[in-house]
Every structure is written in structure tokens, then in C-alpha cells.
Amino acid sequence: SGQTTLLQDLNRLIENHYTNTFLLAVNDNWQKIVDGLDAWRIAEIAPQQDFFSDRVKPVLDRNKKVVVIISDALRYEIGDELVSLIRREDRYEAALKPSLGVLPSYTQLGMAALLPHRELRFAADGAGNVLVDGQSCMGTGNRTKILQQQVGNGTALQVEALLGLNRDECRRLVRENQVVYVYHNRIDATGDKKESEGRVFAAVEETLQELLKVVKKLTAANVSNILVTADHGFIYQNQALDESDFAVGEPAAEEISHRDRRFWLGRGFYPGKSYKIFSAAQLGLAGDGEIALPKSINRLRLQGSGSRFVHGGSSLQEIILPVVKINKKRESDVSQVEVDILQGANTIITSGQIAVVFYQRQAATDKIQPRILKAGIYSRQGPGELISDSHELIFDLASENPREREVSVRFILTRKADNLNDQEVVLRLEERIAGTSHYRTYKSSIYKMRRALGTDFDF
């Protein structure tokens, strides 16, 4: 249909603007900084390799328990959304900090970096696997072994196993371990497959709800220290890629041991204009290997692989990762905005309509939530009969400027108001009683009808 075509055209315009004006421009400029680095460190951002020593060990040193949730490909912006989602929950507090992901920004290395370790190195298997202090870290069994060697009482499990526990089993898990690593994989599992990469946006929404569910299950088991982070981020473009989005050829090297869509592993890479070379030592890794990364957001061609959802490179979207710290408080900390009727001196209704200004006292935030009210003018006899049109008003204004939280509403009187001249009427703000179709009066204000004629409009 014409509407579908119009939406498709709009979608194409928006994506072209995002890709060319933002994604490409930002990462072309970021690439200039990457090109100037002789080691993979950014002074202002904590490196992912220090996650355990910086974020987990201090909690353990206070003899407190901690649960780490690692969600595969949880990009920084998704972490920011998760913080807002959690903060809307009563008694929950969440804070976000950035982390500089490892290079290459792919699962095996990112997962290894988040474990306690002295050194990380590429395995000699040519498959891109990574060794933690000489040991494999593939699978929850090996990760549990590494945690137990470093901490004593520690374990790793998949999120499905955690969600399958009842309350007592979950409490026992927490009681028996000082540190628990929980692995969640929705976004990466969806995006890494060519046939499902187009569902990435849906996978992100599902991930947010699943992580909220996991957090609530853990707090119900008396966990008070929860960290959520990721192994890497990702780049995503919804449209099919142009030829110019792919790197020009493969770099010359003495040996290329592993190829991915955003990096090569090997040794003896020869310098080239379209890729950046790092040694293992420059990346904080042991061994004598090297990696080559296509510049900006360019991809490598791989048979049978998707190309719209990728990671492994050094773009900001792949390497700036969220570290979300979550705590649950003892007392309620969620409220709703308060709303006033600004009546002033204007308490006389002299025509068939009246403009009323409502003032939202606080700016809406995660913790001070919007309020939905129904507004109308009623007679004062008996239960009160509606004598004007009715408005549903959503007070969700987030501005810190009080003037920008004033809402003007015009009420039109009906014929029923004609019989109330020289009588008092009431403007009522009503709020729905939760779980019912009934309303309670939130606030009200008295007006006097003093009209020379009937309504200005026929109803």
C-alpha cells in the first residue's frame, strides 16, 4: 500500500542519516585516535581486563557476596536503558559506568577478560579461543573452576539454570558461594546468525525484560550486590550493506590463523591503509600474536556470515561497555508527581468555556513517576453531574524549568450547565483506583457560574 511504501521510504531516510551522519562520521573520527595509540588504553575509562580486580574483589574483600550477570553483546546504550528500567522499580537503585572492552571485541576474549586472571593469551588452536592463566575458559564448567581457584567458593551458570531454581534453591546457591557468574545470551545469539540478525531490536527488548526478571529473582534470594556487564558491544545496520562497507582485500601477513567479520588473528602483518595492527602486548595480552582490524566500521567478507550485526573491531559501539551496579533498598523510594490547579483570582465562569492551568510540581524522573488524571467540571448537587467535556491528562513532563511544567486546558460547558447559573460548580481531578474501573478525587477547586447567556456551542 501507499502507506507502507511511505514508511519504508522514511525508514530508509532515517537509517541513511544514522549510518552516514552519525555512525560513520563518529567512528571515522574515533579511528584517528585509535591510529595514534601504541597501547590499547584510554586514561579516563577502566579497562575490561580490570573488571574483577576493580569491581568484584573489593566487594569480596568486605566479606560480602556478589553476583555478576554477563549479557552477551549488551551494548552501552542498552545498559543505560536497563538502568532506567531498574530505577523505575520501587526500592531499586542502579548506577552506570563505562568500561573499555578488549580487542578484538569478540566473545571468547571478552568473557575471559571478565574472569579473575593474571594473564590472557590466544590459544594455539587457530579458532580464536583464549586461555586464562593457561587454562581454557570455554563453558561454565571451566569458568567455575577458574572462579574457585581464585575465590574458593564461586560458581558459573547459564541464566536458564538460574531461572529454573525455586526460591530455596536460589538462596542455597547464594549461601554456598561468595561470587556467582550468570551468563545471558539473547542479543548475540540472535544477531550472530544470518537468518535472525534482523531481529536484533526485538532481542534487545527481550533482553531488558529478562535481565529485570533475573535481578528480581536474585534480590528475592537476599542478594544485595549485583553487577551487570557485557563481553562486547556491536554495530548494527538494518539495510543491506553497500560494497563500500567492506574492507578492501585481506592484509598481507606471514600467517593468518583466524578470520572474523571485524578482525584477523595472526603474526607478521604488513602495514596497510585500510586496517590497524596491534601486537598482543599492546593489547595487554601474553604471547607474540598480532591482530589486524579494518578501520572505522568496515567489515570483512566471510562466506555464510551475516554482515548487518557485527563485532570484533574497535568502533565505539563495540568497545564501550556498560557496568551496571544494582542495589535494593529497605524503604520505598518511588513516588508520583504532584499536580496543582492554578486557580488564582479567576474563580468566576462567565462564558461557555474556561481555560484552567495545571502545574506539575516535580520533574518526572525514574523515581518520581508520571501521573494520569481525568479532569472535568461537575455540579455540586448529589454525586455531581459532569457539565463539561472531560480530558485525560498525562503529567509526565521532565523539564527542570517550572514554567515548562504548566499545562493549560480549555473546558467547554454543555447544556447541562445552563441551569446552574449563580451556583457553585467544582473542577475535579480524578485518578483511577488501581486494578478497578473506579476513580477517586485527587484534587478539586470551586468555581462560581455567572453567565449572561447559554453555552457558546451546541452539544
pLDDT tops 90 at residue 308: no
Q: Domain check: are 179 and 249 in the same one?
A: yes
Q: Are 107 and 351 in contact (CB under 8 A)?
A: no
Res 344: pLDDT:
73
C-beta neighbour count of 322 within 10 angstroms: 23
Q: Domain check: are 401 and 324 in the same one?
A: no
pLDDT tops 80 at residue 302: no
| Least confident residue range of 83-92, 306-315, 446-455 | 446-455
Length of the chain (residues): 459
pTM, two decimals, is: 0.84
What are 37-96's pLDDT values in tens digits?
Answer: 999 999 999 999 999 999 999 999 999 999 999 999 999 999 999 999 999 999 999 999
Q: Domain check: are 84 and 187 in the same one?
A: yes
Res 458: pLDDT:
47
Q: Domain check: are 77 and 163 in the same one?
A: yes
| Inside any domain, residue 46 | yes
| Inside any domain, residue 267 | yes
C-beta neighbour count of 69 within 10 angstroms: 23
Q: Domain check: are 377 and 291 in the same one?
A: no
The pLDDT confidence band at residue 303, using thresholds 50, 70 and 90, is low
Largest CA distance in the chain: 97
Q: Is 370 left (phi over 0), alpha (psi -120 to 50) or beta?
A: beta
Q: Beta strands of 163-289 (E only): which ranges?
A: 179-184, 226-229, 235-236, 253-259, 264-269, 275-279
Q: Count Cβ neighbours within 10 Å for each residue of 370-394 and write b for 16 or more, e otherwise.
A: ebebebbbbbeeeebeebbbebebe
| Inside any domain, residue 457 | no
Q: Domain check: are 296 and 375 in the same one?
A: no
| Inside any domain, residue 394 | yes
Residue 120 and residue 342: Cα distance in Å, rounded? 65
What are 387-429's pLDDT values in tens digits?
Answer: 999 999 999 999 999 999 999 999 999 999 998 999 999 999 9
Q: Domain check: are 302 and 279 in the same one?
A: yes
Q: Are 211 and 162 in contact (CB under 8 A)?
A: no
The residue-averaged pLDDT of 270-298 equals 92
The pLDDT confidence band at residue 305, using thresholds 50, 70 and 90, is low
Q: Domain check: are 36 and 75 in the same one?
A: yes
Question: What CATH number has the domain bearing residue 363?
Answer: 2.60.40.1930
pLDDT tops 50 at residue 459: no
pLDDT tops 70 at residue 14: yes
- What DSSP element (H or E) covers 353? strand 353-360
Residue 333 and residue 348: Cα distance in Å, rounded? 40
| Inside any domain, residue 360 | yes
pLDDT tops 60 at residue 456: no
Residue 70 and residue 111: Cα distance in Å, rounded? 8
Q: Count Cβ neighbours within 10 Å for each residue of 108-145 and write b for 16 or more, e otherwise.
A: bbbbbbbbbbeebbbbeeeebbbbbbeebbbebeebbb
Q: Which of 328, 363, 385 is the last residue of a domain?
A: 328
Residue 122 and residue 108: Cα distance in Å, rounded? 9
Question: What CATH number has the domain bearing residue 265?
Answer: 3.40.720
Q: Which of the 8 DSSP states describes residue 452? A: S
Helix (H, G, I), strand (E, B) or coil at 137: coil
| Inside any domain, residue 358 | yes
Cell for 344? 488564582
Q: Domain check: are 75 and 133 in the same one?
A: yes
Q: Are 422 and 451 in contact (CB under 8 A)?
A: no
Q: Which of 306, 328, 350 is the last residue of a domain?
A: 328
Number of domains in the chain: 2
| Inside any domain, residue 313 | yes
What are 148-203's pLDDT values in tens digits?
Answer: 999 999 999 999 999 999 999 999 999 999 999 999 999 999 998 888 988 999 99
Q: Domain check: are 289 and 365 in the same one?
A: no
Q: Are 284 and 50 in contact (CB under 8 A)?
A: no
Residue whose entry in the numeric block shows the C-alpha cell 571478552 = 110
Q: Which of 311, 328, 345 is the last residue of a domain?
A: 328
The parent domain of residue 352 ranges over 335-449
Q: Which of the 8 DSSP states describes residue 249? A: S
| Least confident residue range of 132-141, 193-202, 297-306, 415-424 | 297-306
| Inside any domain, residue 455 | no
Which phi and psi (to 5°) does residue 9 adopt?
A: -65, -40
Q: Domain check: are 188 and 207 in the same one?
A: yes
Q: Are 112 and 120 in contact (CB under 8 A)?
A: yes
What are 320-335's pLDDT values in tens digits?
Answer: 999 999 998 888 889 9
How many helices (H) and strands (E) would you count in the chain?
A: 12, 26
| Least confident residue range of 131-145, 213-227, 229-243, 423-437 | 229-243
Q: Domain check: are 167 and 210 in the same one?
A: yes
